[in-house]
Structure formats: structure tokens, C-alpha cells
Amino acid sequence: LLFITGLGCALLIKGTNRISILFRTVFFVPVVIGFGSAAFLWFWFINPDTGYLPQILRDLGFGEMKESWTSTMPLALIMVVLMVVWKFTAFQMIGFMTGLQAIPQEINESAALDGATGMKNLRYISLPLLRRTIGLLLVLSVSGSLLAFDQFYIITAGRPEGQTQTIAFYLFRQAFLAFRLGYGAALSVILAVLLMIISLIQIKLSRMDTHE
């Protein structure tokens, strides 16, 4: 989902005019907000009692909206996913824009002369040349998923019945709430090894030639 929204935004506002620059700045604001602060803002925004979103839906006639959105599945997971999309779409967008701007203009002009415009250009020209960028963003997304903690701890606290636990969240609960320190230490080693493997993949991708 982050790939789709990030690439879509990059294609829409990849220009250098003032409007594009303004939109890029606005979209990038959530990225600079701390993860904990962003999670608290989102938790407040969707709170059935005080949040703006439930109130707007009530005003539109969608019911009372009194039940918590973070205590039932799949709604709890959807709320966290939407928060992550809101926060990190701009990061993905910047990555894709950097890749798009690195594509030589001559290639796009030649493709246009051959009739490859719009979706054809995206499918047969842009996406193949963006494979290194896509690989790097994918690696970063996977490593971020492994380390995800703040948003789940603040928004869902693992509810319902631990169904929204991540590896980092599960490690925290086992080590510091259940006091299974040995088990928690073993999990942390496994997590560190996984992150090391992902880092090596990222380094290898970063050394690949863009147009190989």
C-alpha cells in the first residue's frame, strides 16, 4: 500500500513548479513528526469520544460510532496501517521521485516517439529503471515492519487478544512484562540477525548500478 501511494504521489507532483513543491512540503510534514507523537495524534483522531473522524462520520449519518476502533479485528489493524500510510507515504514518494528524476530525459523522449506514453511509459520504461529504488524501499519497509512497536503499543496495545502484536512488541511483553528475560534476550538476538541480513541486502542494492 505504501508503494502504491508513494509512487502515485510521486507521479502526480514530480514537477518543479511552485504547486508541486508546496504539495511535497505538506506531504512530508508527517515524516518529521516523531513516531510516538504521530501515534498519539492518530489515536486521538480516531477516538470515538473526542476524535474528529468518528464525529464526522456521525454527522454524515453512519451511526453512533461509540465502540472503540482499536479493540476488534480487522478494524484495529486497519487503523494502524492507515496511520503508517499517512506517516510514511511522503518518504516513499521522495524515494520514487529521486528515482524518476534520475531517468535520462532522452529515454522518455525516445519512448514518447515510439508511442510509449502514460501507463505504457510507466510499465515498460519507468518501473524497470526504478527496480533499484523499489528494492531499497522494499528493504526499508521490511526492516521497519520488524521494528514496529510505537504505533501498535500506543494505538492498539496488542488488542484484541494479542492479534496486533509485532515481533518487537512481543519481545517487549515477554522480556519486560512477563519477566522472561532469557526468552526475550534470545528473541532480540534473532531480531538482530534478521536486521543484519536485511542491512546486507540493502548495502548490496545500494551498490548496484541504476541502469544495470
Specify the pLDDT at position 40.
92
Residue positions counted in the chain: 212
Specify the pLDDT at position 210.
44
The ranges assigned to domains in the chain are: 2-207
Task: Please answer whether residues 152 and 36 qualify as being in contact, where contact means their C-beta atoms are separated by less than 8 angstroms.
Answer: no
Q: For residue range 82-136, what is the model confidence (pLDDT) as tens digits?
A: 999 999 888 899 899 888 888 888 888 888 888 777 788 888 888 888 888 888 8
Q: Does domain 2-207 have CATH number 1.10.3720.10?
A: yes
Helix 35-45 vs helix 75-102: crossing angle, to nearest 10: 130
DSSP 67: S
**pTM of the predicted protein model:** 0.80
Local mean pLDDT, 10-residue blocks, the chain (212 residues)? 85 78 83 88 90 89 82 88 90 89 85 80 86 86 88 87 87 91 93 90 70 48
